[in-house]
A and B are shown apart, each in its own frame.
Chain A
């Protein structure tokens, strides 16, 4: 029985990585949920939007690095992040002006919007691969670890260490700031309230003099900014590879639906639930249980529910379960 070591082990392999991953998913899901709340369609291009913003941030990072600009020990990418956000916002405004606005005026069916977003996804995927190429890109610099395994062991005297990557801390901190700002915006400001009203009841909002075009524009700006931040943080924490962003769309959609479509609080909640389930279901609890059990006892198998290959199957199973049991998601309703 060794609770301290068991907890250290679990933190190192489950809690810390899942927290960072959850923050990335939450940011992505917030963007999807806002578009869903205001424009009422599932945006298949959101993954590519994340990729696009991250790509712009990476290009800016490289430029800054070549100029010798550095904010070490923090990664240069943080300095370049505003460029990524601006690029994503520009892209979102362009697609809205030249693609989505037409269907909005025609009041097309949500499926038509979804199909059109597939077209946007194709175009963005092509652009990204032409500009930066289909391969892995590394752009992280600065200090790698805040706490290394060795330091932790030396400080606490435990057998198990906890390593905390700098990118993980940055991810969580940035996500906290962004989410807090977003909620402040939605709850307190005039345009935030207008957005909530519009999401709640479009016709009533129009009657009370809210400009729909402006609401839509703000929704795109917020979603694009969130996407760029999420994409860059994901790239910083793991790796930037264009094709990953089509795969990550699934857990993001799952988080959105799990939390309740159009619900920002739900999106954050959903992101963390999905991330924690993905990591926990595919984690082998053998050593963790060995620490908790009587001395010298070790479980027979790996005590792993699913092999890590099926990571994203977890998010999907949750998605199906939610759709069957409680299609409205954890937080009911469709209010933004």
Chain B
């Protein structure tokens, strides 16, 4: 009897504690057929809503970049990675350079207004830029070297003045242009309110969680806690004006449940609790082939996704790795690697192969592939698994095994390298394992090591001194798709301007220095003749494939795009007939947000 009473008491305690653990809010269930669910964006709880800050951990609302996420905040233009064009959002019509190409003028859409009803004006655009500079935000610091000023000509017209070089030409027109599609416009009045609140202190300005933020986008904050974040449609959104979308986006709510890891995210996708999945679902084809679920990817067959970035293994060229200064050693390792196994096993075939898209510095999109002369570099491109070729290359370069212990030597030292990437980055780890396996086949001892990311990042981004032991071959990313690509990616992979930085988050972490490459990289942004541009790019690809400062292991999409069509349909897919084509960008990024206006219910 005692036990039963005890059990009842315990159960009561359970219920009481659960009730106590919950904040009381008067809101019901989100109707399934008015809500679009996401995964793979938001990890951990949302911190705040401040569009100036990069510390808000608020992936559904704040993500500036080549294809800015425009659910809540909006940029003047939207980039479309499929056709490489930009389309106006807050802007009215295309922007225009003046004849000297020193400043850009564009006007704002007169229909555009904030969620408080006031119009979006040129003053807002100008003040946003001024605040970025004043508080040294990442956006401000990253662009201040290229943008002189952003000002308002009249209420609706904005002029963006480029920083000029000594000849009076814009330093980098590409970066000036891309500012317009990569960065949000914040409201001047609200910005001033926040400035007053934080006393114009830069740290406090970026740490403010901005619960009172004013926004122009179609969605606003609805709910956020430890397990989810929900945005709700602003039915007064200006974009329903005929000059923009002509209607409201289909889902009333955008919701993102917070999952512990990819596996939990995939489970929810399988269960129909996620509509749009922006995460790596391993063996994604099993979801429809084996389980028969209404799930599809942008492409129906492998590689399933549109590759946009190039996860790359860098060689340590800072002098602390014996033998890696020898290009034959670098190229031999790169040639011997079994890329088909990396793509089949690490990426479970969600990457194009190097037979399909031969290696260069370009991503697999048609636009970038057209930017270099394929024939001119065909002899330099390798597809991997070339053990004999690699051995011959090493023998020829005099890197041989002279003491007969099975390992080749340089200056009497056995070649031994550590290949590394951050722990828990599963596809990279699996890829690095394959790289290491290649070493043994050509007489170079390669072992692997996976430090925690928090350690890894501090080591790799410290570019002002030689890399320490254990970082002979290490993986990092490249830029994806964007209006400055492939130029920005190539700059980050090859430019020596990053060498010597205390905290280098740009690229060339291996410390490759080649003045010729630097010169070519500097020449491209100001070059206006398309044929000449192709020539310059071809030259860079040639240099890259000859010097092998790093080598790409796979192609990776900008956003993974896997959708479950059990509630919503009409997501973008290859050949869906949209014009301009809607890119598979998670239905939220750049021109990809057009997806939200095309969605339909499967069972209306």
A and B are interacting partners: no
- Chain B residues with CB under 8 Å of chain A are none
- Chain A residues with CB under 8 Å of chain B are none
